[in-house]
Amino acid sequence: MRYGEADGSGRYGIVDTDADGNLICHECGQAYAFLGRHIRAHGIDPDIYRERHGLGRGTALASQSIRSEMREVGKAKVDAPWWPKFKAAGDAAMPERQHAARAAHAQGMRPQVRRMRQEGAREWFGPANLARRNPTVYTCTVCGAQWCRLGKGRPPTLCSDACRVRKLGWDPRATRTTLTRPAQVDWTVSIPEIRAQWVEPEEIAEKMGLSRSTVYRVLRQERAG
Protein backbone atom coordinates (compact mmCIF):
# COMPACT_ATOMS: atom_id res chain seq x y z
CA MET A 1 0.00 0.00 0.00
CA ARG A 2 1.32 3.42 -0.95
CA TYR A 3 1.41 6.57 1.12
CA GLY A 4 -1.89 8.45 1.01
CA GLU A 5 -4.03 5.59 -0.31
CA ALA A 6 -7.34 4.74 1.37
CA ASP A 7 -6.75 2.62 4.45
CA GLY A 8 -9.83 1.69 6.46
CA SER A 9 -11.41 4.93 7.61
CA GLY A 10 -8.30 6.99 6.93
CA ARG A 11 -5.27 7.22 4.68
CA TYR A 12 -2.18 5.04 4.78
CA GLY A 13 0.71 6.79 6.53
CA ILE A 14 -1.40 9.79 7.59
CA VAL A 15 -3.36 10.58 10.75
CA ASP A 16 -6.30 12.71 9.67
CA THR A 17 -8.01 15.19 11.99
CA ASP A 18 -11.50 16.62 12.21
CA ALA A 19 -12.51 20.27 12.52
CA ASP A 20 -11.78 20.24 16.26
CA GLY A 21 -8.29 18.83 15.83
CA ASN A 22 -9.16 15.35 17.11
CA LEU A 23 -7.47 12.37 15.48
CA ILE A 24 -9.55 10.05 13.31
CA CYS A 25 -9.14 6.35 13.99
CA HIS A 26 -8.27 4.22 10.94
CA GLU A 27 -10.16 1.28 12.44
CA CYS A 28 -13.59 2.80 13.13
CA GLY A 29 -13.54 6.33 11.71
CA GLN A 30 -14.36 8.01 15.03
CA ALA A 31 -12.40 11.07 16.19
CA TYR A 32 -10.64 11.11 19.54
CA ALA A 33 -8.37 13.58 21.28
CA PHE A 34 -6.33 10.72 22.75
CA LEU A 35 -6.24 8.14 19.97
CA GLY A 36 -3.54 6.09 21.67
CA ARG A 37 -5.91 5.21 24.49
CA HIS A 38 -8.88 4.50 22.21
CA ILE A 39 -7.20 1.99 19.89
CA ARG A 40 -6.82 -0.46 22.76
CA ALA A 41 -10.57 -0.96 22.45
CA HIS A 42 -9.80 -2.57 19.07
CA GLY A 43 -7.47 -5.07 20.74
CA ILE A 44 -4.20 -3.57 19.47
CA ASP A 45 -1.48 -1.49 21.04
CA PRO A 46 -0.04 1.76 19.59
CA ASP A 47 3.02 0.08 18.04
CA ILE A 48 0.92 -2.43 16.10
CA TYR A 49 -1.51 0.32 15.09
CA ARG A 50 1.31 2.45 13.68
CA GLU A 51 2.80 -0.51 11.81
CA ARG A 52 -0.56 -1.62 10.42
CA HIS A 53 -1.40 1.80 9.02
CA GLY A 54 2.05 2.90 7.83
CA LEU A 55 2.73 5.45 10.56
CA GLY A 56 6.19 6.27 11.82
CA ARG A 57 7.26 5.04 15.22
CA GLY A 58 7.34 8.59 16.53
CA THR A 59 3.92 9.58 15.19
CA ALA A 60 1.89 11.18 17.97
CA LEU A 61 -1.45 9.56 18.76
CA ALA A 62 -2.77 12.53 20.72
CA SER A 63 -4.27 15.77 19.47
CA GLN A 64 -2.33 19.01 19.48
CA SER A 65 -4.38 20.33 22.40
CA ILE A 66 -3.58 17.27 24.53
CA ARG A 67 0.11 17.52 23.70
CA SER A 68 0.11 21.23 24.55
CA GLU A 69 -1.49 20.53 27.91
CA MET A 70 1.03 17.79 28.65
CA ARG A 71 3.85 20.14 27.67
CA GLU A 72 2.57 22.83 30.02
CA VAL A 73 2.26 20.31 32.84
CA GLY A 74 5.84 19.24 32.24
CA LYS A 75 7.07 22.84 32.27
CA ALA A 76 5.20 23.49 35.51
CA LYS A 77 6.91 20.50 37.11
CA VAL A 78 10.35 21.65 36.03
CA ASP A 79 9.73 25.11 37.48
CA ALA A 80 8.44 23.74 40.79
CA PRO A 81 10.74 24.17 43.82
CA TRP A 82 10.68 20.45 44.61
CA TRP A 83 11.76 19.39 41.11
CA PRO A 84 15.59 19.49 41.56
CA LYS A 85 15.44 17.19 44.58
CA PHE A 86 12.98 14.88 42.84
CA LYS A 87 15.15 14.71 39.71
CA ALA A 88 18.30 14.02 41.71
CA ALA A 89 16.61 11.10 43.46
CA GLY A 90 15.35 9.79 40.14
CA ASP A 91 18.76 10.03 38.49
CA ALA A 92 20.30 8.03 41.33
CA ALA A 93 17.80 5.21 40.83
CA MET A 94 17.78 5.37 37.02
CA PRO A 95 19.97 2.29 36.30
CA GLU A 96 17.80 0.05 38.47
CA ARG A 97 14.61 1.46 36.99
CA GLN A 98 15.83 1.01 33.44
CA HIS A 99 16.77 -2.60 34.09
CA ALA A 100 13.39 -3.30 35.70
CA ALA A 101 11.56 -1.58 32.83
CA ARG A 102 13.42 -3.60 30.19
CA ALA A 103 12.71 -6.84 32.04
CA ALA A 104 9.02 -5.98 32.39
CA HIS A 105 8.82 -5.01 28.72
CA ALA A 106 10.42 -8.30 27.64
CA GLN A 107 8.02 -10.28 29.80
CA GLY A 108 4.95 -8.39 28.61
CA MET A 109 5.89 -8.25 24.93
CA ARG A 110 3.44 -9.97 22.65
CA PRO A 111 4.79 -13.34 21.46
CA GLN A 112 4.35 -12.47 17.78
CA VAL A 113 6.18 -9.16 18.20
CA ARG A 114 9.03 -10.84 20.06
CA ARG A 115 9.23 -13.53 17.37
CA MET A 116 9.31 -10.92 14.59
CA ARG A 117 12.16 -9.06 16.28
CA GLN A 118 14.12 -12.24 16.82
CA GLU A 119 13.65 -13.29 13.20
CA GLY A 120 14.70 -9.84 12.01
CA ALA A 121 17.85 -9.97 14.12
CA ARG A 122 18.72 -13.42 12.81
CA GLU A 123 18.24 -12.25 9.25
CA TRP A 124 20.38 -9.12 9.72
CA PHE A 125 23.22 -10.87 11.53
CA GLY A 126 22.83 -14.17 9.69
CA PRO A 127 25.30 -15.84 7.33
CA ALA A 128 23.82 -14.17 4.24
CA ASN A 129 24.66 -10.66 5.42
CA LEU A 130 27.90 -11.63 7.10
CA ALA A 131 29.05 -13.20 3.85
CA ARG A 132 28.46 -9.87 2.09
CA ARG A 133 30.78 -8.03 4.44
CA ASN A 134 34.19 -7.39 2.94
CA PRO A 135 36.84 -8.53 5.45
CA THR A 136 39.27 -5.88 4.20
CA VAL A 137 39.89 -3.10 6.71
CA TYR A 138 39.79 0.37 5.17
CA THR A 139 41.36 3.45 6.75
CA CYS A 140 40.17 7.01 6.21
CA THR A 141 42.98 9.19 4.86
CA VAL A 142 41.71 12.22 6.81
CA CYS A 143 40.68 11.10 10.30
CA GLY A 144 42.21 7.62 10.42
CA ALA A 145 38.93 5.82 11.17
CA GLN A 146 38.85 2.14 10.20
CA TRP A 147 35.91 0.05 9.03
CA CYS A 148 34.81 -2.96 6.98
CA ARG A 149 32.26 -2.31 4.28
CA LEU A 150 29.36 -4.33 2.92
CA GLY A 151 29.48 -5.55 -0.65
CA LYS A 152 32.02 -4.79 -3.32
CA GLY A 153 33.06 -1.74 -5.26
CA ARG A 154 35.87 0.76 -5.55
CA PRO A 155 37.92 0.87 -2.33
CA PRO A 156 36.88 3.96 -0.36
CA THR A 157 39.47 6.39 0.96
CA LEU A 158 37.20 8.60 3.07
CA CYS A 159 34.80 7.53 5.79
CA SER A 160 32.21 10.30 5.57
CA ASP A 161 31.07 13.47 3.83
CA ALA A 162 32.59 15.50 6.66
CA CYS A 163 36.04 14.11 5.87
CA ARG A 164 35.44 14.74 2.17
CA VAL A 165 34.73 18.40 2.91
CA ARG A 166 37.85 18.63 5.09
CA LYS A 167 40.01 17.13 2.36
CA LEU A 168 38.60 19.15 -0.55
CA GLY A 169 38.10 22.37 1.38
CA TRP A 170 34.57 22.75 -0.01
CA ASP A 171 31.33 20.77 -0.10
CA PRO A 172 30.60 19.35 -3.57
CA ARG A 173 27.01 18.63 -2.59
CA ALA A 174 26.40 22.26 -1.67
CA THR A 175 27.80 23.42 -5.01
CA ARG A 176 25.69 20.91 -6.90
CA THR A 177 22.56 22.00 -5.04
CA THR A 178 23.28 25.67 -5.70
CA LEU A 179 23.73 25.05 -9.41
CA THR A 180 20.76 22.77 -10.01
CA ARG A 181 18.08 23.82 -7.53
CA PRO A 182 15.54 26.14 -9.17
CA ALA A 183 15.07 29.62 -7.81
CA GLN A 184 11.39 28.90 -7.14
CA VAL A 185 10.56 25.43 -5.82
CA ASP A 186 7.21 23.99 -6.90
CA TRP A 187 5.64 22.79 -3.65
CA THR A 188 2.37 21.69 -5.28
CA VAL A 189 3.80 18.46 -6.71
CA SER A 190 4.41 15.15 -4.93
CA ILE A 191 7.19 14.62 -2.40
CA PRO A 192 9.46 12.67 -4.82
CA GLU A 193 9.07 15.43 -7.42
CA ILE A 194 9.95 18.06 -4.81
CA ARG A 195 13.01 16.02 -3.84
CA ALA A 196 14.00 15.92 -7.51
CA GLN A 197 14.34 19.72 -7.31
CA TRP A 198 17.28 19.21 -4.89
CA VAL A 199 15.23 20.05 -1.81
CA GLU A 200 16.50 18.28 1.30
CA PRO A 201 14.05 15.90 3.05
CA GLU A 202 14.32 17.91 6.27
CA GLU A 203 13.18 21.05 4.46
CA ILE A 204 10.32 19.14 2.82
CA ALA A 205 9.15 17.86 6.20
CA GLU A 206 9.26 21.33 7.75
CA LYS A 207 7.53 22.99 4.81
CA MET A 208 4.73 20.42 4.53
CA GLY A 209 4.22 19.90 8.26
CA LEU A 210 5.26 16.23 8.18
CA SER A 211 7.72 14.23 10.20
CA ARG A 212 11.08 13.44 8.65
CA SER A 213 10.40 9.71 8.97
CA THR A 214 7.26 10.13 6.87
CA VAL A 215 9.15 11.94 4.12
CA TYR A 216 11.91 9.33 4.06
CA ARG A 217 9.32 6.54 3.98
CA VAL A 218 7.59 8.09 0.95
CA LEU A 219 10.91 8.45 -0.86
CA ARG A 220 11.84 4.83 -0.11
CA GLN A 221 8.47 3.60 -1.37
CA GLU A 222 8.91 5.61 -4.55
CA ARG A 223 12.34 4.09 -5.18
CA ALA A 224 11.04 0.59 -4.43
CA GLY A 225 8.01 1.04 -6.69
Q: Tell me the pLDDT tens digit for each residue of 61-83.
A: 998 888 888 888 887 877 778 77
pLDDT of res. 23: 92
Q: Which CATH architecture has domain 181-225?
A: Orthogonal Bundle (1.10)
Give CA 37 to chain center in angstroms: 22
pTM: 0.38
Evaluate if residue 185 carries a pLDDT over 70. Answer: yes
Q: Tell me the pLDDT tens digit for each residue of 84-138.
A: 777 777 666 666 666 666 666 666 656 666 666 666 666 655 555 555 566 677 7
Domain ranges of the chain: 6-65, 93-132, 134-171, 181-225
Q: What percent of the chain has pLDDT over 90?
A: 2
